[in-house]
Structure 1
Amino acid sequence: MKVSVIGSGYVGLVTGMGFVKLGNEVIFVDVDEGKISMINNAEPPIYEEGLDELMKEFKGRYRATNDYREAILNSEVTFICVGTPSREDGSIDLTYIEQASREIGKVLREKSDYHTVVVKSTVLPGTTENVVKPILEDESGKKAFKDFGLAMNPEFLREGVALRDFLNPDRIVIGVQDERTKRALEELYAPINAPKLFTDIKTAEMIKYASNAFLATKISFANEIGNICKKLGIDSWKVFEGVGLDHRISPHFFRTGIGWGGSCFPKDVRALINKAEEIGEEPVILKAAVEVNERQPLKLIELLMKHVPELGGKTVGVLGLAFKPDTDDVRETRAYAVIKKLLEEGAEVIAYDPQAMKNFKRFYPDVGEKIAYAESAEDVLRATDVVLLVTEWREFEEIDYSGKIVIDGRRVRKAEETAEVYEGVCW
């Protein structure tokens, strides 16, 4: 099948290359000429495990352009994968969704064949039908579900293992209204052996938000219990090992530490809170999950100041800047709150991350330009006796932390075994 993908960020690029791997031809559409050039040269514009090899292997089966017309006239299905960033009040900004819908609609006006438009961007319930559909119809002069298809297909990709998740998902959720669209997406996803849940469009949108909100809440619950465990001298990881053996609960997302970040959980939980309040509901649990998460990274500083009460003029090492390992994504990373607090306390900071240092400096200039960056984790250890572990990169498990004070937010076992002074946030 011929597929076009609007937006070549994490979701768009992984989705498109996943479809290429399944035997389809893909055209990426983006406004960023740098990204377009990199994709056409088989160079991934983001760091994601396996993406580089996949792009080189299948070069010639995909291309990138800034031309909507070229992409849509030469494809049967279009996936909208543009960003839906948060506004100050937590609501989502639909600017990119609206722009993409307008451009797609203009081309659909020229197209005689039945074309299916699939929203994969994360949008609140009602957005596809109340925002995307009217724009497509106005611009194309056609009717959704009659002259062109429209569907919602939320993504459940974890950064760092996103390609694996695309090809081996827990489930595929598709919100559809007409049979032609359903058949097209059944064909497209046929090679993937996973449960396929077909729902109405609004339900598919809500499944995405409910999933992310639950996982974020589960982490915050674990961290709240972990904070209690820490003061009682109990290892929270062992506690949740026992809790997770209950088949009703499962062990996943019980890794206590300094909380969640990234492009999805913070944005999606805030958006759901905002929507709930807009319709007259008070989302008490969701608000509590956010509150716990905002406090959690500062537990590192509290523990550090037990051992180094005066941070003024002290050099502190920070290992890890990405919000999680195996990605260069720093959106809502816990490292930002930690480093900001260290600087406020007068400390000097030297940091290292295998992939995310450039992005951290660019995304957070207020702190990113005030700290030093090392070329390796070992260089950080040579520069200071005090180290904070913020992201659990595998290479941090291969270092000897002897003679160091280590405050660990992610449970790096080698640090626990070798550091002279070791404190874990929840253990």
Structure 2
Amino acid sequence: MRAKRIGVVGAGYVGLTTAACFAHLGHRVICADADTAKIEALNAGEITLHEPGLRELVEDNRERLEFVTDNARALSDVDFAFVCVPTPTGPDGAADLSAVDQVLSEAPPTTRVVLKSTVPVGTAAKHPGVVSNPEFLREGHAVEDFLRPQRIVVGAQDERQAHEVAALYAPTKAPTVLTDNTSAELVKYASNCFLALKLSYVNTLAELCEHVDADIDGVTEGMRLDDRIGASCLQPGPGWGGSCLPKDTLALLATARAAGVDFATLEAAVSTNRHQPHRVADRIREELRTLDGARIGLLGLTFKAGTNDLRDSPALVVARLLVQEGAELTAFDPCVHEDRPNMRIAHRAADVAAGADMLVVLTEWPEFAELDWPELAERMADPRLYDTRNVVPGDKVREAGFRLIRTGR
């Protein structure tokens, strides 16, 4: 197909990835964001998002990319305008659509608007002519997910418009689902909330393993070989977080309540997830006998590996619980370099071990498996390690002199 002129409103994870990838596919893209500092940084070639491949895509396609602060530039004189602005959780648990509503109010009637922001079910139906095209981009894999997607979902009232938007993704050769707006919106929530259910299930299963002397790794290995279950989202941890699952579960629950539907399974998943950081803190307290004055080194703060995103990170919830009981915290994360409230940020993993009573792995960064465990053990007051993500090599850690505690063991 011939190159299109595409506008993108929003330069966050979704918007910037969308803009860069469409430019990579040969289209001319104008990306707008109200954050002047962010746009100035992008025009200077500075990208603060830790997203593999994104910096290179932006640099390689600058002749087809323009970054502006004026939304009107991205909404006028374009073939398609993609809305990629945040929809944070509001006070009642429902999504806050103020940013989406603002952009839609600014769009000229002749502009073909495509909603990529995650919006409550039924939103697009209130705006005739808007096309729904939910994103399925995982932080840390956003570029890969855009250029090699598992599926493309497009919802529209006009089938011709749906086909035109789907055609933009033709080079990816991904399976395409064409449906109505409301169903497309629900696909996004249904997918993310199912993943939340699965993660909460495996975390409770890990807790059960600890009580009945089973091994969660052996249990999940036996589960993932069943095609009906699959291998993804079976790794236990201190809870799920980030910019999507917490927000989307609450939004779908709000939609269900408004529709008079009792979504008990999803309510249980959310409740289970809120319990996980407390379970981690309880186990640390049990091991140390008291948290008051305990020196604890944290390995990992982001909500998952491969990103610098701290939003709704369970690691930060665990840290807050420890501080509330008087623990002294030092933390290391490959993507966090500024001090956080009530904790010191170290520049090396080894530095968190100095004088520590315990180390706690809270994010599954693969480099944590390769640490110099004898060095860390020598630096500690008492070499104890709680691996909430089960990523460290057990034999090497024990040989270095650590008492090792693992999730689901």
Could you tell me whether the CA contact under 8 Å between 1:303 and 1:423 is conserved in 2?
Answer: no
Q: Relative to 1, partners in 2 of residues 1:416 and 1:320: Cα closer, same or farther, differing over 3 Å?
A: farther
Q: Deviations over 1:85-115 (max 9, x none)?
A: 00122111111011111111xxx25xxxx53
Amino acid at match of 1:347: A
**Partner of residue 209 from structure 1, selected from 164, 185, 189:** 189
* Structure-1 residue corresponding to 2:392: 413
Q: Name the residue aligned to 2:364.
A: 392
* Structure 1: 5+ residue stretches without partners: 134-143, 362-367
**Counterpart residue type for residue 209 of structure 1:** Y
Whole-angstrom distance in 1 between the partners of 2:392 and 2:163:
49
Q: What is the rounded CA distance, in whole Å, between the counterparts of 2:396 and 2:390 in structure 1?
A: 11
Quick one: distance in 1 between partners of 2:167 and 2:46? 29
How far off its partner does 1:345 sit? 1.4
Q: Does residue 159 of structure 1 match 2:139?
A: yes
Decide which of 9, 32, 37 is 2:35's aligned counterpart.
Answer: 32
Q: 2:106 aligns with which of 99, 103, 106?
A: 103
**Distance in 1 between residues matched to 2:244 and 2:372, nearest whole Å:** 34
The answer as to 2:113 corresponding to 1:126 is no
| Conserved 8 A contact 1:300-1:408 | no
Cα offset, 1:174, TM superposition: 0.3
* Shift of residue 415, structure 1, vs aligned partner: 5.5
Please point out which of 194, 200, 203 is paired with 1:223: 203
Which residue number corresponds to residue 81 of structure 1?
Answer: 84
The one-letter code of the counterpart of 2:98 is: T
Distance in 2 of aligned mates of 1:274 and 1:186: 30
- 1:15-39: per-residue Cα shift (whole Å, max 9, x none)? 1111111111111111001111122
Distance 1:80 1:248 in 2: 35
Quick check: 2:294–2:357 contact (8 Å CA) kept in 1? no
Equivalent position SS for 1:60:
helix
Deviations 1:271-323 (A, max 9, x none): 11112112212211111001111111222222222321022112100111100
How far did residue 382 of structure 1 move? 2.7
Distance in 2, matches of 1:416 and 1:280, equals 52
Shift of 1:50: 1.0
Tell me if structure 1 keeps the 8 A contact 2:32–2:73: no
Q: In structure 1, which of residues 95, 105, 116 is the aligned counterpart of residue 112 of structure 2?
A: 116
**Shift of residue 357 of structure 1?**
4.3
> What SS class does the counterpart of residue 98 from structure 1 fall into?
helix
The equivalent position to 2:9 in structure 1, one of 2, 6, 9, is: 6
Partner in structure 1 of residue 318 of structure 2: 338
On the 8 A contact 2:330/2:346 being kept in 1, the answer is yes
Give secondary structure in 2 for the equivalent of 1:191.
helix
- 2:9·2:74 contact (CA, 8 Å) conserved in 1? no
Q: Is the 8 A contact 2:132 2:156 kept in 1?
A: yes
Aligned amino acid, residue 120 of structure 2: L
Residues 310-347 of structure 1, C-alpha deviation per residue, up to 9 Å, x if partnerless? Answer: 22112100111100011011111011211111111111
Distance in 1 between residues matched to 2:63 and 2:210, nearest whole Å: 54
| One-letter identity of the residue aligned with 1:123 | V
The alpha-carbon deviation at position 82 of structure 1 amounts to: 0.3
**Contact 1:416–1:422 (Cα < 8 Å) also in 2:** no
Given candidates 162, 176, 185, the residue that maps to 1:182 is 162
| 8 Å CA contact retained: 2:337, 2:347 | no
Does the alignment pair 1:284 with 2:264?
yes
Aligned equivalents of 2:388, 2:337: Cα separation in 1:
19
* Counterpart residue type for residue 363 of structure 2: T
Q: Secondary structure at the match of 1:197?
A: strand
- Look up the match of 2:235: 255
* Residue 347 of structure 1, aligned match among 327, 334, 337: 327
Aligned-partner Cα distance in 2 for 1:160–1:392:
13
The residue that corresponds to 1:41 in the other structure is: 44
Counterpart pick for 1:308 among 285, 288, 308:
288
**Do the aligned residues in 2 keep the contact of 1:401 with 1:415 (CA within 8 Å)?**
no
1:416 offset after TM fit, Å?
Answer: 6.0
Percent identity, aligned pairs only, is 39
Distance 1:201 1:210 in 2: 14
Q: Give CA deviations for 1:10-64 in whole Å, capped at 9, x if unaligned.
A: 1111111111111111111110011111222232231111111111111221011
Cα separation, 1, equivalents of 2:334 and 2:95: 31
Larger mean Cα displacement after TM superposition, 177-186 or 406-415: 177-186
Relative distance call for 1:115 and 1:88 in structure 2 (3 A) is closer
Secondary structure of the equivalent of 1:387? strand
Q: Aligned partners of 1:122 and 1:409: how far apart in 2?
A: 30
1:19 aligns to 2:22 (yes or no): yes
Q: CA deviation at 1:383?
A: 4.2
1:225-244 matches, within 5 Å, as 225-244=205-224
What residue identity is the alignment partner of 1:125? V
Give 2:136's aligned amino acid. F
Query: What residue number does 2:342 align with?
Result: 370
CA distance in 2, matches of 1:40, 1:93: 29
Aligned partner of residue 373 in structure 2, secondary structure: coil
8 Å CA contact 1:316, 1:387 repeated in 2: yes
